[in-house]
Each structure stands twice: as C-alpha cells, then as structure tokens.
Amino acid sequence: MELGLTGKRAIVTGGSRGIGLAIADSLAAEGAHVALIARNTDELARAAEHVGRHATRVVPVSTDTRDDDAVRAMVDRVAGVFGGVDILVNAAAEPAFAAPPPLAELTDDALRAEIETKVLGYLRCIRAVVPHMIAAGWGRVVNIAGLAARRTGALVGTVRNVSVAGMTKNLADELGPSGITVNVVHPGLTVTERVAKAVADRAASEGKSTADVIAAMARDVSIGRLVTSAELAEVVTFLVSERSAAINGESIDAGGGEKGVIHY
C-alpha cells in the first residue's frame, strides 16, 4: 500500500531516542522530511545522522516543549526550512519505570511536571503547527500517550495519559472539518534502549536472568511478548498517512493487546 508520505513534512517531538526516534525513522523511510525535536543536542545529532540514511531532509532542533515561545520559534524554523508542516507526532515525555508513590507521598509538583510536559507540551506544539495545516487543508497529528490511561496502578501516569486522550478527541472534532485528523496511540511497555537498561537493572537487583524479567513483563500481553519501537512506529506511520482519513479522535492500543480486557 502506498501511504502517500513522500515529500510530506513532519515534526516529531521526543525524536532523539526511543519511540520518537523509531517513528521519525519510519517516516523518513517512507519518504517524509522530518524535524527531530528534543532538548539534548548531542543525542539529536546522533539521531539525525541515523535518520538521514534514508536520504530525505532531516532537521534537528533543540527545543524545550515546556516553553511556549521556544515551541513557536521551533515550528517557525521548521516551516521555513520545509515550506510548511503536514504532520506532528507528539512523543516528548519521560517514561516512568519506578513504582508510583502512595497518596501520602505524592506531591503536587510531581503531577504538575508531568502535565507541563506531556499535556501542555503536546498542546503547545499542536497550537503552533495547526495554522500551517489549515492553510494547506490537510494535516495529521498523533499524540503518544500510554496504557496507564486504561488501567490503575500509576495515578500520575493515568492522569496525564487520560488528559492527552481527552485533549485529542476535543481537537479532533474541532479540526476535522479543516482536513486535519488527531489521534492518540497508547503504547504498552515497548522495547527501547531505556527499557533494555531497566530490564538489566531489574534482573541484577532480583538475581534473575533478563529473559525471566522480560517474560514477567510480557505476561499480560496478548501476543506473548513486548512490542518493539519499530512495530509501534509502523502503527503511527499509517495514522499520519493519506490512507488513514477514516480514523479521527480515536484512542488506539498499540501494546500487543491486554489479556482479559474488552474496549468497545
């Protein structure tokens, strides 16, 4: 299937590593020009070199999405280089591997920090790119949230991801008539370099093999294993393509399936 991504102009936040980098790489492989957005300039340079092997234009831009002025300047720069923006993938957020604190130890600032990056940061980027999409009469936005939106056990993670899903649906209804779709993808625990380190650390602390730790993590995944970042990226790549026009305002589970749970 031809996805119609050749020549499309994309911004991927959190694009220097992990899920964001995998998505940027997948988009470039389909012929899209990609701006990689993150804070660490060294990581951005390495990511740009990696994605650049597909021979599309790759622009690394160091940006803190917690700063609205910085976000607007970044979008202006990217739009100036590419001549516009067609696609935005919001993936800039810190993953949470540690056990969540109990209520008595949960501070206001812990929640504020998560909302500032993963909810408001996403909103800032959408707000800045949408005028370019409206002008073109076409656009795709995908917000990366997480399966904590659909289960208990991590209060902060649930709040931030449910907020992203709610924001997504509201914006989908508003922007749909302008030719712009907005969807949210919920990864589960996904194989990235950070997860590999977390697995190794857990195995060492518990005196287990990494295989045993991974098996335990995948126990409730329907496909029997963890999804890779490349596999997740393929889902997002379809959602930002010309072939996904029928999907708007949806929350899509891309964690390999949750055993015993029905969403309808």
Helix/strand/coil (H/E/C) assignment for every residue in 117-138: HHHHHHHHHHHHHHHHHHHHCC
Inform me whether the pLDDT recorded for 98 exceeds 70: no
- Exposure string of 115-142, with b = 16+ CB inside 10 Å and e = fewer, is eebbbbbbbbbbebbbebbeeeebbbbb
Predicted confidence (pLDDT) per residue in 185-225, tens digit? 999 999 998 888 888 888 888 898 988 888 888 999 999 99
* 98 found inside a domain: yes
Q: How far is Cα 120 from Cα 123, in angstroms, rounded to an integer? A: 5
What pLDDT, on a 0 to 100 scale, did the predictor assign at position 205? 86
Inform me whether the pLDDT recorded for 99 exceeds 80: no
Rounded average pLDDT over 212-240 = 94
* 204 found inside a domain: no
* 200 found inside a domain: no
Number of domains in the chain: 1
Q: Which amino acid is at 57?
A: R
* 2 found inside a domain: no
* 134 found inside a domain: yes
Q: How far is Cα 161 from Cα 90, in angstroms, rounded to an integer? A: 12
The residue range of the domain holding 135 is: 9-188+228-253
Q: How confident is the model at residue 251 (pLDDT cuts 50, 70, 90)?
A: very high
Predicted confidence (pLDDT) per residue in 153-190, tens digit? 889 999 999 999 999 999 999 999 999 999 999 999 99
Chain Cα centroid distance, residue 179: 21
Rounded average pLDDT over 119-126 = 98
Give, rounded to a whole angstrom, the gap between the first and last alpha carbons of the chain.
28
What pLDDT, on a 0 to 100 scale, did the predictor assign at position 195? 83
pTM attached to this predicted model? 0.95
What pLDDT, on a 0 to 100 scale, did the predictor assign at position 96? 66
Q: How far is Cα 37 from Cα 61, in angstroms, rounded to an integer? A: 5
Q: How many helices (H) and strands (E) does the chain have?
A: 9, 9
In 3D, which of 240, 255, 191 has the Cα closest to residue 22?
Answer: 191
What pLDDT, on a 0 to 100 scale, did the predictor assign at position 101? 84
Q: How far is Cα 149 from Cα 143, in angstroms, rounded to an integer? A: 13
What pLDDT, on a 0 to 100 scale, did the predictor assign at position 117? 94
CATH number (domain holding residue 125): 3.40.50.720
